[in-house]
Amino acid sequence: MIFTVAIDGPAAAGKGTIGRAVAARFGFAHLDTGLLYRAVGAKGGDPVAAAEGLVPADLERWDLRSLEAGQAASKVAAIPAVRAALVAFQQRFARAEGGAVLDGRDIGTVICPAAEVKLYVTASPEVRAHRRWLEVGGDEARVLAEVLERDARDMGRADAPLRAAEDAVLIDTSAMPVDEAVARAISVVAERMEGLR
């Protein structure tokens, strides 16, 4: 079975948690596409060459979840040639047999516009910054400033800006417990799968 779940949203909204849970529930493969960009940023050197030479082992680096890697990812993701080099990788993953869940910032709008399910997971900047601060520590006000800066860069870039696909189901996790957000996503996917039978 080929079935793609595209999950988009800003940093720390909960899309990775939801993506992993949906993949586990349905036995689908999962790809956190942000790791591709984090890996390219973390490799350093020429970002286009890094993107073109990316191998699965690059996604296993221990430092890819750091705040620095996230900032580097957002910067290299704004380079059209880097994005182009990673699009084919993501599209192959999405349409592989067995089903796939991809989470990122342009999955439903650019990478997989024909995905069977599109979700847009969001939360207020303050809630997202607090979640990120709990993960990485430091000065919470600085983390909020970085979240806002990243949002502006991701939503304002010329190539594939972050936005909800027109047919995406919105899940706002600002005041929603994790289990409720996961249940909502699973319900949407199950309903769509049933509709295709």
Q: Is 98 annotated in some ligand binding site?
A: no
Could you tell me if 105 and 68 are in contact, meaning their C-beta atoms sit under 8 angstroms apart?
Answer: no
67: which 2 tokens? 């705040």
In this structure, are strands 117-122 and 169-172 parallel, antiparallel, or unpaired?
parallel
User: What three-state secondary structure class fits 7?
Assistant: strand
Q: Is 45 annotated in some ligand binding site?
A: no
Q: Is 13 annotated in some ligand binding site?
A: yes
Q: Is 12 annotated in some ligand binding site?
A: yes
Q: Which of 156, 30, 140 is nearest to 90 (CA)?
A: 30
Q: Is 34 annotated in some ligand binding site?
A: no
Residue 98 sits at the vertex; the CA angle it makes with 107 and 25, to the nearest 5 degrees, is: 80
Q: Is 14 annotated in some ligand binding site?
A: yes
Q: Would you report the helix, strand and coil content of the chain in percent, each value rounded to 5?
A: 60, 10, 30
Q: Is 9 annotated in some ligand binding site?
A: yes
Strands (E), 33-168: 100-104, 117-122
Residue ranges of the binding site: 9-17
Residue ranges of the binding site for ATP: 9-17
